[in-house]
Amino acid sequence: LCKKIMEHIGLNPERLRIEFMSSAEGILFAEVMSEFGNKVKELGPLGKREGMDQKELKSKLAEITKLVPYIKLVKNEKLASRLVNPEEYDKLFTKDEIDRLFSEVISYYIDPEKCQACMTCAKRCPVEAIISAKNQVHVIDQEKCIKCGTCFEVCPPKFGAVTKISGEPVPPPIPEEKRTIVRKSKER
């Protein structure tokens, strides 16, 4: 999976190598490390041979790193599978599957018209990505959000304020001064 992701962002996947060996195989370990070290020297500094400047490289790596929790959730079943033959790992994820994984990233959005500031989503968010206050429409901080879907699952059905968005940008959050919820008082 990591090699396919590297390829997706334009890095040479030969920069990553995983070998399995016993701790008693010191000579094999030395050979593998020597061979891999020579390969990395041949490829040069990260991004150079691929034609990326440092700023572009950092940006792409930061973007991918931010999506790691999402990838773990979406591909949990495949990641948990135990394969006997090491060659099977190369075929586990296809290039199309990886491209689709990044082009169809799911985001979550709290509809300001439906949110009743019940605080349920904010309390349950594992990374505290929901900006909330009592009697204020909640907003998901898209930079912090790991796209786990907890907010979507816990939002009370009577509100249904959290929506799942795929393949399109998330609407901008409403300004802070417009987030206050005016509750209708009960008439007697």
Are residues 6 and 98 part of one domain? yes
Q: Give the residue numbers spanning the domain of 18.
A: 2-103
96 inside domain: yes
Q: What is the pLDDT of residue 168?
A: 87
Residue 131 forms part of a structural domain: yes
- Which CATH number fits the domain that encloses residue 148? 3.30.70.20
188 inside domain: no
Q: What is the pLDDT of residues 64-80, one digit of tens each?
A: 888 888 888 888 888 88
- Give helix 95-103 / helix 54-74 axis angle, nearest 10°: 100
- pLDDT at residue number 181: 84
Whether residue 93 is predicted with pLDDT greater than 90 in this model: the reply is no
How high is the mean pLDDT of the chain?
89
Q: What is the pLDDT of residues 143-187, one digit of tens each?
A: 999 999 999 999 999 999 999 998 888 999 988 888 888 776 555
In the block, which residue shows the tokens 């304020």? 161
Where a domain ends, among 47, 79, 103? 103
Mean of pLDDT values over 103-114: 92
Determine the Cα–Cα distance for residues 14 and 17; give it in Å rounded to an integer.
7
Distances (CA, A) of 122 to 81, 162, 172: 33, 12, 18
Task: Tell me if 83 is assigned to some domain.
Answer: yes
Is-contact 11 47, C-beta < 8 A? Answer: yes
